[in-house]
Structure 1
Amino acid sequence: MALRSASPPKPSTDLRLLDLATEHVRRYGAARLTVTEIAEAAGMSHANVYRYFRSKTALLEAVTATWLAPLEAGLRIIADAPDPAHDKLERLLFTIHRAYRDKLATDPKIFDLFCAATAQNAEIARRHQQRIARAIQRILDEGHGSGTYHINDQGGAVTFVIDAMYRFLSPGTLRADIDSPRAEIENRAVRLLNLVSQALARGGL
C-alpha cells in the first residue's frame, strides 16, 4: 500500500497575516495598507486580525521586525566571535551597511517602511538601534580589556562610533547615496573607520 506524503504544516494565523501584510506593502506601499484589506485577504473579520496585531502600526512594525531579526542575530554572533576587536568592529558595521543597502536595492518598499520608522523614532527603530549599540559596546569592552582600545567612558565611546559612522548606518543617508558606486562608498567608510579605531586606541574617550 502506497504511503501518502504528509502535508506541509500550515502557517500559524499570525504568520499568515504577516505574510499578507508584507506582500501588500511590497506591491502598494505601507500607506495603502488597511487592516480591513488584510482581513479580507485572510478570509476573516478585521476584529479577528486585532486578536493578533493590536493596530495597523503593530502589524507594520512586525513586517519590519521580520527582516531585522536575522540581521540582529548576525550582529550578536559577530560581537561574540573570537576575532580581534578592530576586525569585529569593521565586520559588524559593514554588515549593517550592506544589509541596509541590499534591502534598499532589492526590497525598496519594506526599506521605506524601516526608514519611516527611523524618522518617527518608532519603537521598532529604537529597539533596533539599541541592539546595534549593545553589539558595539560588547566589542569595545573586549577591546578595552585586551588593551587594543583605551576607553574612559564606555557609553560615550559607543556614541562616538555611531556618530562617526552615521553616514554609513543611517537608512536615510543610504537612500540618498543609492546611486553612488558601492565600492566608492565602502572605501570612504573604511578610511573613516580607521580614524575611529585610531582614536579609540589613543584613548581620551
Structure 2
Amino acid sequence: MKKPLRLRDPQPAETPTDVRILDIAADHIRRHGIERTTILSIAAEAGMSHANIYRYYPSKTALIEEISAQWLKPLEAALHVIGDAPDPAFDKLERLVFALHRAYRDKIETDPAIFALFSAASAQGAAIARRHYGRRDSEMRRILDEGASGPGFDPIDPKRALALILDAAYRFIDPIAMKLDLEVQRAVLEQRMGRVTKTVFRALSTGRI
C-alpha cells in the first residue's frame, strides 16, 4: 500500500529587501531617535554594506521620506475613496476632514516617533509633505467643484473655498498644531471640529466667503 503523499508546508514569502530596510530603519528611529539612527547602523542590522542601502535609498533623507510615505499612502487612498463616493458634497467634505484628523491622531498616539518625521517634514516644507498636502487639496477641490455644479453650494471661488476650509480646520488637521492638543480628549476635539465644519459649510452654502 502506497503511503499518502505529504504536502510540504508553504514557505513564508521573503520580505523584499527595500521593505526590510524600511522596517529596520523605522525600528531604529523608534528606539534611538532620528539623530542617532544612521545608515551604518541600519546596514549592520540588515547584514549588508552601507553601500547596498544606497542602492535602494540614495540618502538618509530619502529613506526617512519613504518611511512617512508608507503610512500616508493608505490615508491618501482613503481620501480618494471618499471623493469618489456618491454622497452629497457637504457630507464628503466632512468625512474627509474627519478622516485626516483621526488618521493623524491615531498615528500620534500609537507611533509618535514616526509621526514626528512627518511633522518635521511639514515644518520644513519637505517634498513628502508637499506631495501629501497636494493630494489632500486635490481631493477637496474635486469635491468643491462637484458641489458647485450641483445643489447645495451657491457659485463659489474654489480657491477661496479651499482656503476657508483649511484655515478653519487648521487646529484639527495640521500635524504641528495637533501635537499641541494631545492633552485634549479626542471626543472633545471632534465635537469642536464638528461645530467648525458645520459653520464653514453654512458659509459655503450661501456663497458668502
Which range, TM-score by smaller chain? over 0.9
Question: Alignment partner for residue 80 of structure 2, among 63, 76, 81?
Answer: 76
Deviation at 1:152, TM superposition (A): 3.4
Q: Give the match for residue 40 of structure 1.
A: 44
Deviation at 1:187, TM superposition (A): 1.1
Amino acid at match of 1:28: H
Say yes or no: does 1:163 pair with 2:142. no
Given the alignment, which residue of 169, 173, 190 partners 1:186? 190
Which of residues 28, 31, 42 in structure 2 aligns to 1:27? Answer: 31
Query: Unaligned stretches of 5+ in structure 1?
Result: none
The answer to whether residue 19 in structure 2 is matched with residue 8 in structure 1 is no
SS in 1 for 2:149: helix
Q: Distance in 2 between matches of 1:133 and 1:151?
A: 19
From 106, 129, 133, give the equivalent of 1:102. 106
CA RMSD of aligned residues (A): 1.1
* Separation in 1, partners of 2:33, 2:151: 49
Query: 1:141-180 counterparts in 2 under 5 A?
Result: 141-180=145-184
| Identity within the alignment, % | 51
Deviation at 1:150, TM superposition (A): 2.2
Q: 1:170, 1:6 → 2: CA distance?
A: 45
Give 1:29 shift: 1.8
- Does residue 66 (structure 1) correspond to residue 91 (structure 2)? The answer is no
Work out whether residues 151 and 204 of structure 1, in 8 Å CA contact, stay in contact via their aligned partners in 2.
Answer: no
> Runs of 4+ in structure 1 displaced over 3 angstroms?
none
Gaps of 5+ in 2: none
Greater alpha carbon shift after TM alignment, 152-161 vs 108-117: 152-161
Greater Rg over alpha carbons, structure: 2
Aligned residue pairs: how many? 205
| Aligned 8 A contact 1:137 1:158 in 2 | yes
Residues 69-127 of structure 1, C-alpha deviations (whole Å, 9 max, x = no match): 10010000001100111111111100100110111011110111111111111000000
User: In 2, Cα distance between the equivalents of 1:176 and 1:151?
Assistant: 36
**Alignment-mate amino acid for residue 53 of structure 1:** Y
**Is 2:64 the counterpart of 1:54?**
no
In structure 1, how many angstroms separate the alpha carbons of the residues matched to 2:180 and 2:151? 38
- Partners of 2:99 and 2:35 lie apart in 1 by 29
Superposed displacement of residue 6, structure 1? 1.9
Q: Distance in 1 between matches of 2:75 and 2:34?
A: 22
Distance in 2 between residues matched to 1:161 and 1:180, nearest whole Å: 22
Query: Are the aligned partners of 1:151 and 1:157 in contact in 2 as well (CA < 8 Å)?
Result: no
**3-state SS in 2 of match to 1:31:** coil
Within 2, Cα distance between the matches of 1:41 and 1:127?
31
Counterparts of 2:28 and 2:155 in 1: how far apart (Å)? Answer: 47
Question: Are 1:139 and 2:143 an aligned pair?
Answer: yes
SS in 1 for 2:183: coil
Indicate the residue corresponding to 1:129 in structure 2.
133
